[in-house]
A and B are shown apart, each in its own frame.
Chain A
Amino acid sequence: MSSRNSRSLFDAAILKSACVESLRKLDPRHQIRRPVMFTVFVGSLFTTVLAVDAFLGRGGESPWFVTSVSAWLWFTVLFANFAEAMAEGRGKAQAATLRQARRDVTARRFRDVPADGRLSAELHQAISAGQVGDRKELESVTASQLRKGDCILVPAGDYIPADGEVLDGIASVNESAITGESAPVIRESGGDRSSVTGGTLVLSDWLVIRVSTDPGETFLDRMIALVEGAKRQKTPNEIALDILLSAMTLVFLLASVTLIPFSRYAVDLAGSGSPVTMVVVVALLVCLIPTTIGGLLSAIGIAGMDRMIQANVIATSGRAVEAAGDVDVLLLDKTGTITLGNRQAVEFLPASGVRIEERAEAAQLSSLADETPEGRSIVVLAKEKYGLRGREVNQRHVTFIPFTAQTRMSGVDFDGRQIRKGAADAVDSWLKERKGEFPVSLRAIVDEISRKGGTPLVVTEGNRALGAVYLKDIIKGGIRERFNQLRAMGIRTVMITGDNPLTAAAIAAEAGVDDFLAQATPEMKLNYIRQCQSGGRLVAMTGDGTNDSPALAQADVAVAMNSGTQAAREAGNMVDLDSNPTKLIEIVEIGKQLLMTRGALTTFSIANDVSKYFAIIPAAFAGIYPGLKVLNVMRLATPQTAVLSAVIFNALIIVVLIPLALKGVRYRAVGAATLLRDNILLYGLGGFFVPFVGIKVIDVMLALVMGA
Chain B
Amino acid sequence: MNAADWILPGVYLFVLCAVALPLGRYMALVLSGRPHRGSRLQRSIETKIAKLCGFDPNDDMTWPRYAGCVLVFSIICLAVVFGLLNLQGSLPWNARGFESLSWHLSFNTAVSFVTNTNWQAYSGESTMSALSQALGLTVQNFLSAAVGIAVMMALIRGLVGRLQVEGGRLPSTTQSEVFGSNHPATHLGSFWLDLTRSTVFVLLPLSILLAIALVTQGVVQTFREQTTVKLVEPVTGPDGTTIEDQHLPLGMAASQVAIKQLGTNGGGFFGVNSAHPFENPTALSNFLQLLAILLIPAALCETFGILVGDVWQGRTLLGAMLIIFVPCVVAAEWAEHAGVSQVLAQASGGDLSDVDNLEGKELRLGTSSSVLWAVATTAASNGSVNCMHDSLTPLAGLVPMWLMQCGEVVFGGVGCGLYGMIVFAIVTVFIAGLMVGRTPEYLGRKIEAREMKLAALVILIPSILVLMGTAVAVMRTEGTSVVSNPGPHAFSQILYAFSSAGNNNGSAFAGLSVNSPFYNVLLGLAMLISRFGLIVPVLALAGAMSKKPVVPRTTGTLPTNGPLFAVLLAGIVVLVGALTFVPALVLGPVADHLEFIAQK
Chain A residues in contact with chain B, CB under 8 A?
Answer: 236-237, 239-241, 243-244, 246-247, 250-252, 254-256, 258-259, 261-266, 268-270, 284, 288, 322, 325-326, 328, 487-492, 534-538, 591-596, 598-600, 602-603, 606-607, 609-610, 613, 617, 620-621, 624-625, 627-628, 630-631, 667, 671-673, 675-677, 679-680, 683-684
A251 to B578, CA, bound (A): 12
Nearest-neighbour CB distance to chain A for B475, whole angstroms, equals 5
Q: Is the CB of A266 within 8 A of B491?
A: yes
Q: Which residues 493-509 of B sit at the A interface, judged by CB distance below 8 A?
A: none
Contact residue range for chain B?
35 or more
Interface: B480 (CB within 8 A): yes
A261 touches B475 (CB 8 A): yes
Partner of B438, one of A326, A602, A677: A326
Kindly state the separation between the CA atoms of A246 and B584 in the bound complex, as whole angstroms.
21
Which residues B420-449 have CB closer than 8 A to chain A?
427, 430-439, 444, 447-449
A613:B435 contact, CB within 8 angstroms: no
Residues of A within 8 A of B431 (CB): 244, 599, 602-603, 606
- A258 contacts B584, C-beta separation under 8 Å: yes
Q: Are B435 and A675 in touch, CB under 8 angstroms?
A: yes
Q: How far is the CB of A555 from chain B (nearest CB, A)?
A: 16
Which residues 240-257 of B sit at the A interface, judged by CB distance below 8 A? Answer: none
| CB atoms of B554 and A490 under 8 A apart | yes
* Residue pair A595, B438 in contact (C-beta under 8 Å): yes
Q: How far is the CB of A580 from the nearest CB of chain B, in Å?
A: 22
Is A322 touching B439 in the complex (CB atoms < 8 A)?
yes
Taking a contact as CB atoms under 8 Å apart, the answer to whether B439 and A326 are in contact is yes
Known A243-B453, A266-B491: A672·B555 in contact at CB below 8 Å: yes
Residues on the B chain within 8 Å of A240, using CB = 430, 447-449, 451-452
* A269 in contact with B490 given A595-B439, A627-B598 (CB within 8 Å): yes
* Chain A residues near B470 (CB-CB < 8 A): 258, 262
Q: CA separation between A630 and B590, bound complex, in Å?
A: 11
Residue with the greatest number of chain B CB neighbours at <10 A, chosen from A491, A671, A683: A671
Q: State whether A602 touches B434 (Cβ < 8 A).
A: yes
CA distance A205 to B180 in the complex (A): 57
Residues of A within 8 A of B435 (CB): 596, 599-600, 603, 675-676, 679-680, 683
In the bound complex, residues from chain B placing their C-beta under 8 Å from that of A598 are 434
- Beyond A255-B467, A326-B439, list 17 extra A-B contacts (CB 8 Å): A243-B452, A262-B471, A262-B491, A264-B475, A328-B554, A537-B552, A599-B437, A606-B431, A609-B579, A613-B582, A625-B488, A667-B437, A672-B557, A672-B558, A677-B564, A679-B435, A680-B432
Take A244-B452, A621-B591 as given contacts and tell me if A262 and B584 are in contact as well, using a CB distance cutoff of 8 Å. yes
List, sorted by A's number, 13 A–B pairs whose CB atoms are closer than 8 Å. A239-B449, A255-B583, A258-B467, A258-B471, A261-B471, A262-B584, A269-B491, A322-B439, A325-B439, A607-B575, A620-B583, A675-B436, A680-B435
| Cβ contact of A593, chosen from B437, B467, B550, cutoff 8 A | B437
In the bound complex, CA of A594 to CA of B591 (Å)? 44
CB-CB nearest 10 A-B residue pairs? A490-B556, A599-B434, A592-B437, A627-B594, A490-B554, A247-B456, A599-B435, A265-B474, A490-B555, A625-B591
CB-defined contacts of B590 to chain A, threshold 8 Å: 628, 631
B319 to chain A, nearest CB (A): 16
Chain B residue at minimum C-beta to C-beta distance from A678: B435
Once the chains are docked, how many angstroms separate the CA of A676 from the CA of B559? Answer: 10
Q: 0/1 per residue, B537-562, Cβ < 8 Å to A?
A: 00000000000011110111111001
Name the A residues within 8 Å of B587 (CB-CB): 259, 262-263, 266, 621, 624-625
Nearest chain B residue, comparing its CB with the CB of A247: B456
Q: Is the beta-carbon distance between A269 and B487 smaller than 8 angstroms?
A: yes
Among A254, A263, A591, the most chain B Cβ lie within 10 Å of the Cβ of: A254
- Roughly how many angstroms separate A492 CA and B436 CA in the complex, as a whole number? 17
Q: State in angstroms the CA–CA spacing of A266 and B589 once bound together.
A: 12
Residue B87 at the chain A interface, CB threshold 8 Å? no
Give bound CA distance, A236 to B299, whole Å.
Answer: 36
The reply to whether B434 and A254 contact each other, CB–CB distance below 8 Å, is no
Closest to A492 in B: B554
Q: Is B12 an interface residue (CB 8 A)?
A: no
B522 within 8 A of partner (CB): no
Q: What is the bound-complex CA distance between A600 and B467, given in angstroms?
A: 30
Instruction: Please indicate the chain A residues that have their CB under 8 angstroms from the CB of B559 in the complex.
Output: 672-673
Q: How far is the CB of B21 from chain A (nearest CB, A)?
A: 25
For residue B464, which residues in chain A have a CB less than 8 angstroms away from its CB? Answer: 250-251, 254
Nearest CB of chain B from residue A363's CB, rounded to whole Å: 47
Q: Is B521 an interface residue (CB 8 A)?
A: no
Q: Nearest B residue to A620 by beta-carbon distance?
A: B583
Q: In the complex, how many angstroms separate the beta carbon of A484 from the nearest chain B beta carbon?
A: 12
Report how far A556 CA is from B463 CA in the complex, Å: 40
Per-residue CB proximity of B238-279 to A under 8 Å, as 1/0? 000000000000000000000000000000000000000000
Give the distance in Å from the alpha carbon of A607 to the alpha carbon of B568 in the complex.
Answer: 12
Q: Report yes or no: B579 in contact with A676, Cβ–Cβ below 8 A.
A: no
A263, A490, A630: which has the most chain B beta carbons within 10 Å? A490
Any A CB within 8 A of the CB of B208 = no
In the bound assembly, the distance between CA atoms of A236 and B459 in angstroms comes to 21
Cα of A242 to Cα of B582 in the assembled complex, Å: 24
Tell me, rounded to whole Å, the shortest Cβ–Cβ distance linking A498 to chain B: 28
Given A244-B456, A627-B591 in contact, is the A617-B439 Cβ separation under 8 Å? no
User: With an 8 A cutoff between CB atoms, is B19 at the interface?
Assistant: no
Among residues of A, the one whose C-beta sits closest to the C-beta of B597 is: A627
Q: Which of B556, B557, B558, B587 has the most CB of A within 10 A?
A: B556
Contact B452 A328 (CB under 8 A): no
B350 interface contact, C-beta 8 A: no
B123 interface contact, C-beta 8 A: no
Indicate if B173 sits at the interface (CB-CB under 8 A): no
| Interface flag for B460 (CB, 8 Å) | yes
B586 at the interface (CB under 8 A from A): yes
Considering the chains assembled together, what is the distance between the CA atoms of A592 and B459 in angstroms?
28
Smallest CB separation, B179 vs chain A (Å): 8
Inter-chain contact B463/A254, CB cutoff 8 Å: yes
In angstroms, Cα B464 to Cα A239, docked, is 23
Cβ distance A618 to chain B, nearest Cβ, rounded Å:
8
A628 touches B591 (CB 8 A): yes
B463 interface neighbour in A251, A487, A591, Cβ under 8 Å: A251
Binary A-proximity of B150-182 (CB < 8 A = 1, otherwise 0): 000000000000000000000000000000101
Contact in complex: A491, B556 (CB < 8 Å) = yes
Chain B nearest CB from A247 CB (Å) reads: 4
- Residue B595 is within 8 A (CB to CB) of chain A in the complex: yes
Asked whether any CB of chain A lies closer than 8 Å to the CB of B54, the reply is no
Known: A237-B439, A534-B182, A625-B594. A251 touches B551 (CB 8 A): no
Contacts of A671 in B (CB 8 A): 555-556
Q: Does B345 contact A (CB under 8 A)?
A: no
Chain B residues positioned under 8 Å from A256 (CB to CB): 583
State how many angstroms separate the Cβ of A610 from the closest Cβ of chain B.
8
**B357 at interface, CB cutoff 8 A:** no
Which residue of the partner chain, among A236, A258, A617, contacts B586 with CB atoms under 8 Å? A617
Using CB atoms, name the residue of chain A closest to B548.
Answer: A536
Q: Which residues of the other chain, B, contact A326 by a CB distance below 8 angstroms?
A: 438-439
Q: Is the CB of A489 within 8 A of B555?
A: yes
A591 to B449, CA, bound (A): 19
Knowing A536-B552, A537-B552, say if A262 contacts B562 (CB, 8 Å).
no
Cα distance A386–B360 when bound, in Å? 103
Known: A328-B554, A596-B435. Is A536-B480 also a contact (CB below 8 A)?
A: no
- Which residues of the partner chain B approach A239 to less than 8 Å between Cβ atoms? 449
Residue among B459, B488, B564, B591 with most chain A CB within 10 A: B591
* CB closest residue in chain B, given A537: B552
**With A269-B487, A617-B586, A631-B586 in contact, do A535 and B437 touch (Cβ < 8 Å)?**
no
Q: With A487-B555, A491-B554 given, is the CB distance from A591 to B437 under 8 Å?
A: yes
- Complex contacts, A264 vs chain B, CB 8 Å: 474-475
Knowing A262-B584, A627-B594 are in contact, say whether A536-B550 is a contact too (CB < 8 A). yes
Most chain A CB within a 10 A radius of its CB, from B435, B550, B557: B435
Complex contact A536–B551 (CB within 8 A): yes
